[in-house]
Amino acid sequence: MSKRVRPFVLFLLASCASDPIAATTPGTNSPTETPAPSPTTTTTTDTPPPPPPPPPPPPEDPVARMLLLRMIRWPGGGREATVGIFDQATGKPFAGDLSTRILMTPPDGIKGTAKAHKVSIEPGYTAVLLPPSQTATERASLAQDILTFVAARPPKERVALYRHGSAIQIFSNFQEDRSELREALDRYKAGTSDAAPLASAIAVATVAQELEEVGGPGPDVMRTLVVLAKDPKTVDTAATDVFVTAVTPDATGLGAAAAAIDDLRKNAFYKVGVCSVEAKVAVSFKVEKTKGSLPAALPATLPEEAGATCSVDAIDSTKRVFTPRIELVFDDDQRAAHAVRIQATQGGTFNEALAKSDFQTGVRLAPGQPVLPATAHLHGLSSLRCARKHYVLQLDGPARHLMPDSATDEFILISLCDDAAYVYSPTAYELMYPDLFMSRRRFVELVIDGSMRGVYMLMEKPREEMVRASARVSTVLRRAYPSGGADQFEVNFPNTGDLTLPVKRYNTFKATFMGLSGAPLIAALRNQMDLDQYLRFMASQSILQSGDYIDEMYYVGAEQADGKGGTHERYRFNMWDAEGYTPCHGGGTAAWPDPDGLAYCAEAELDKKILPDPEVYKLFVAQMEAALAGNLRRERVAAELDATRVKLQARLVDPPVCAAMTELLAFNAGAADCAVARTVIANRATALLAAHDARRALLADRIAAYKAKP
């Protein structure tokens, strides 16, 4: 750290004195001569002027508040920290670029270098903590102010609403869609205040901790807690991992919060690249000519990246290159265990439980890296019979960044063996992300025990992403085929305790609406499920003509406040195993026979209850029209199909990779030639776009016919 140099000021003190006996020249009038005093003149000596006052002391250094949003590992002792810096007194970013003034100080005896550059942070997660005591009139006014605030926020910002009472409860969870928040504000307006709310410090700390954890450590985004308080100055805003701002509970306060959030995310953040020792070490970040520092821990270098060269100039996550290939590496025991599970997928010896049981394996995450220990198992049901199996990997040790904005230790490797030419599913996932599909994904090559197995989709494990995409998730249910007139479920979360309780809670919810119709039915559904999202899902499956989505739906239950001190479980939804432009099971004999021909393969008992209701069906048609004009508009579908084509073709350039794509060879025997394989991919993308065009035209005619009915 360079020392601060105090200004050195040289003061020249000038003195002036009269000299009563100074000689003069007679007859001259020189200005330097002093006439002799006459006998009657009194001689006066001038008083020297006082010395000038000392200069004012230099202004005190401002106090810098610092936030640490994310810390990720780089090879050879490298780390990259996302750090926010703003003036504690004003709450605003400092003027100018602080990059050259940011210092990283390791403990004595440990060397380290750091280099920073200024960045703009993407919108992320925002929690609004409501005031604990409001009258009905105040709640109504504040609800409208919050709607205005949210409407002006960036579309990708996920906003949650918290109730401050004797317990901190969630009115609406973190999501981009604003309709659920509007419903939550209706409950807030009709609710009550709590006579014994938690202390402000406890309330703020509770929400800040949940805000810090939601979404996991992968996304590099702004996280903000807006505390609505009648006296904002009494609120402790000194968090180090999220930005806390306290404002008055009105339009003025919310406007100030919006301005502060955007000002900070655009002007207060820096990426700090660090090279230091590979072991975990405590450091502090500081800005020259400011007070305050930010303690932080540099995480230990990953074992597969130890010993590499570290350069602070190369540390930049926007330019990070991710591994093109993953390998499963077996010793003799692991090879034998894997062979047993492969054998259990064969027709004559099929044993699902054995096939999907865990086994140990080594994993090489990138060519040339050392092998890491991991646990794996085969994934899927019908895909178990594919030649190229799906795998779930749990890596030993900390989370890995194997794709942008992702950090996890569990992954799925999907062979896409049941997706003709591998184009549809990746495109559908991208079209549905993040509203109806939460996992990030990309293509990699997979090598198993030295044998190239071709292109796979590397994906975050869906269950884990569903749990951490929201706060206070209590249930993840995977819907199965109906039985006995009731939807059946597999409990995916929690995986301990009484696993019958999540299904019992759903059945209790179901009982609240089974005898209803019209507006009361819609109100009961909205009370415990995101009805708009569910109808968006059904509309998308009809547009994409998916014949097998009955058991490809997850129900994600999380806490929801009723506004009067109570809570219940509310469901949102996540799709899985996308299959499009396929026939419905059994020719659709188990599906609801839609007289208007818009719903496709609606086989769930929930669907058969709600779609025949004219008022619900009207909402379903509205969601279909919105999707056709928006998320599934022709231009976007064409663009995403083309993006999938480009990514797949980029992988199909190496003959061993092309020869390993057994499903593509079955689709076209000449596809072992990479040029042919790329052509097959292109033709499939073209065929899917043609199918989409035909489906759009058919649905447009049917929507028009439905609307023309009296």
Q: Which residue intervals of 394-530 are DSSP H helices?
A: 424-432, 462-468, 501-511, 518-528
pLDDT at residue 86 greater than cutoff 70: yes
Residue 136 is predicted with a pLDDT of 95
- Region 93-98: mean pLDDT is 97
Please report whether residue 301 resides in a domain: yes
Last residue of a domain, one of 632, 649, 668: 632
Cα dihedral sign, 608-612-613-615: positive
Residue 12 is predicted with a pLDDT of 27
Please report whether residue 545 resides in a domain: yes
The 3-state DSSP class for residue 83 equals: strand
Domain count of the fold of the chain: 2
- Give the pair of three-digit tokens for residue 18: 């009269």
Of the candidates 153, 102, 93, the residue with the CA atom closest to the CA atom of residue 128: 153
Query: Whats the size of the chain, residue-wise?
Result: 710
pLDDT at residue 35 greater than cutoff 90: no
- Give the pair of three-digit tokens for residue 72: 């990720």
User: DSSP states of 324-338 as a string?
Assistant: SEEEEE--HHHHHHH
pLDDT digits (tens, 9 = 90+) for 122-174: 999 999 999 999 999 999 999 999 999 999 999 999 999 999 999 999 999 99
| More confident: 440 or 30 | 440
Please report whether residue 303 resides in a domain: yes
Residue 50 is predicted with a pLDDT of 87
pLDDT digits (tens, 9 = 90+) for 378-398: 999 889 999 999 999 999 999
User: What is the domain range of residue 287?
Assistant: 64-120+270-317
> CB–CB of 350/364 below 8 Å?
no
- Residue 87 sits in a domain of what CATH number? 2.60.40
Kindly report the number of other CB atoms within 10 A of residue 532's CB atom. Answer: 17
- Region 493-498: mean pLDDT is 93
pLDDT digits (tens, 9 = 90+) for 523-532: 999 999 999 9
Please report whether residue 262 resides in a domain: no
Kindly report the number of other CB atoms within 10 A of residue 7's CB atom. Answer: 6
Please report whether residue 280 resides in a domain: yes
Please report whether residue 195 resides in a domain: no
Please report whether residue 429 resides in a domain: no
Please provide the average confidence, as pLDDT, over all residues in the chain. 92
Last residue of a domain, one of 632, 665, 690: 632
pLDDT at residue 191 greater than cutoff 90: yes
- Region 681-699: mean pLDDT is 98
pLDDT at residue 11 greater than cutoff 70: no
Residue 56 is predicted with a pLDDT of 85
Q: Which residue intervals of 194-290 are DSSP H helices?
A: 200-213, 251-267
The 3-state DSSP class for residue 151 equals: helix
Residue 451 is predicted with a pLDDT of 98
Under the banding of pLDDT at 50, 70 and 90, the label for residue 44 is: low
In whole angstroms, what is the distance from residue 657 CA to residue 669 CA? Answer: 15
Residue 361 is predicted with a pLDDT of 98
Please report whether residue 520 resides in a domain: yes
Q: How far is CA 341 from the centre of its chain?
A: 36
* C-alpha R_g of the chain: 34
- Region 70-94: mean pLDDT is 96
- Region 27-54: mean pLDDT is 58
Residues 625, 626, 632, 636, Cα dihedral to 10°: 120
H or E segment to which residue 112 belongs? strand 112-119
> Tokens 């920290």 map to which residue?
81
In whole angstroms, what is the distance from residue 200 CA to residue 327 CA? Answer: 51
pLDDT at residue 25 greater than cutoff 60: no
Residue 611 is predicted with a pLDDT of 98
pLDDT at residue 246 greater than cutoff 60: yes
pLDDT at residue 34 greater than cutoff 60: no
pLDDT digits (tens, 9 = 90+) for 51-68: 888 888 888 999 999 999
In whole angstroms, what is the distance from residue 570 CA to residue 454 CA? Answer: 41
> CB–CB of 88/64 below 8 Å?
yes
